[in-house]
Structure 1
Amino acid sequence: MTARQGLAADIGGTNTRLALVEYGRVLEETITRYRNRDFDTPEEAIDAFLAGAGNPACGSAVIAIAAPINGKTIRMTNHPWTFDATCIGRMLGGADVTFLNDFEALAYSLDRVAPERLKTVCGSAQTVPGNATRLVVGAGTGFNAAALFQSDGGLHVGTGECGHATLAVETEAELRLWKYLARGRGRASVERALSGQGLREIYEWHCLEQGLTPEDFDPANIASRANASEDSACEAAARQWVTFLGRVIGDLALVFLSLGGIVLTGGVTRSLSRFLAEPEFQGAFRAKGRQRQLVSGIPVHLLDDDFAALSGCAARM
């Protein structure tokens, strides 16, 4: 290994993805995914990866984490791991370690994504400005978004903790659902709905509304049964989930004025991709009053690449 080679890592709430990087490009043959629950610490996961790769020396490491990035010690939001840049650098043999938010890495990956990995959800008859702001939004274990800005100085990313904003509702039924999601929590955040656990709780609520006992389905089961139209409560949950998704990304499109387009990602989003073409999602996305025409002109795509954030890490190396 040379000083121009290093380690890229994308640490989500459920999975860890790692790869070696050479001259700013991910070595695809080295990409590896682990389940977080199989390791007590992130260092153990990194060590397992390096051992499998022949213990290469890494001159640098860029690690994308599903958490707010502030300083050299980071604690994850939806998993009990803590990251220490000094500790990780030491185990890598003195490598320089940079932490990114996981959606920051996804935003930096957008210019590196192969066109065939982007599936059109909402097209646009308007010409998309070449330097317009773009937005990447994802729902999986949690929910978040990041904006990619382009200026004469290059690309810049704005990140936040969008999943912890308060969930907006519009109907009496949604208000009842909001109260169900908020029980014991004081309020319902966006992430309480737009996540795997959120899909599960929306399904439970639909069952209870119909006087049914919820089955012990996990989010993957619910999505599968909804896609196959095998269970009315699962399908109702899926349609409500994408309604919330459409409403939230429409709001974010206005907040960031993301005329360059929106890219959707995340395991739950992909599992319910069939419903993104349905009126519930499309209508909620565009229902922005006097700004309906503006939002309707914003293209939306689904990213079919579970390892894109690694390319974003490589771009920052």
Structure 2
Amino acid sequence: MSATEKISFATQPSIVPAFVRVLLSKKPFVAPAGTVVTPIELETRRVELSASHLQRYRDVCDVPAAPHLPPAYLHAVAMPMHMQLFIARDFPVKVLGLIHLRNTIRVFKAIDTSAPLRLSVHFDTQRLTDAGQEYDFTTRYERDGEIVWEEVSTMFARGTVPTKVEGGGGKRPSIERSGHPKEGTQTQTLEIAENTGWRYARVSGDFNPIHLTARTAAMYGFKQAVAHGMWSLGRCLGAAAAELPADGIQIDTQFKLPVYLPSQALARFWAVENGIDIGMCTMRGDRLHLAMQVRKLA
């Protein structure tokens, strides 16, 4: 399965039909025993970045202006492709039951909006754990044949399967929990508005109902709407933007406690050997929303 058309971020034409198909999907929440993972490769050969779309991302994630792209921005650009992956016949489970567990982003080269990129998304990995199943998919951007940005997202399907699923292996990101804040920690208070989910959905195309309103979130067991994990990630990187190199970095993130809308949270970051640790936590500082490590690539 492939896509070769130019993507327009003015209207996100592929997103609404994709979400209708997601809501109507009859896929299971957990793949049954004996399921064989079939690789899926999607491709868009020409992605032209939009300065106005980038500015809307900067606004919602509070990322300062800079000549290069924010590190997590290209995830939002790729979301229409991710939706096509989730509704592909061979993707084994229902996407609305998945939890974004971990994320690794590698920025190899500083990127601006001046030249088109080639985008590809690849899925071939499933792991069985004591609590359920983990699914990895890899997103890559190339410019002139060179990989400039790469992401591995790990999604989790909660449930028990009696025997191990065939297929998978390899691409599990190595992510460690950020330690306790050190001397010199910088802290920002984040005021998270009730419409944050809608605003990020309009930028990314991720209209999952749990992120939009308390009413739609309640349909899936949440007491309030929940901020997108990738918004939380982007917002924390925005808070620490002055300390981050433009390229040559790897960002490992582990998602933990949900961020409800509206609410407040703390973004804390501090220097460590070869990089920065970042945490997003409750206002008391006693529970983590996410733990992040930014390290220089070897």
Q: Above 0.5 in TM-score?
A: no
Q: Which has the higher strand share?
A: 2
Larger Rg: 1
Structure with the higher helix share, 1 or 2:
1
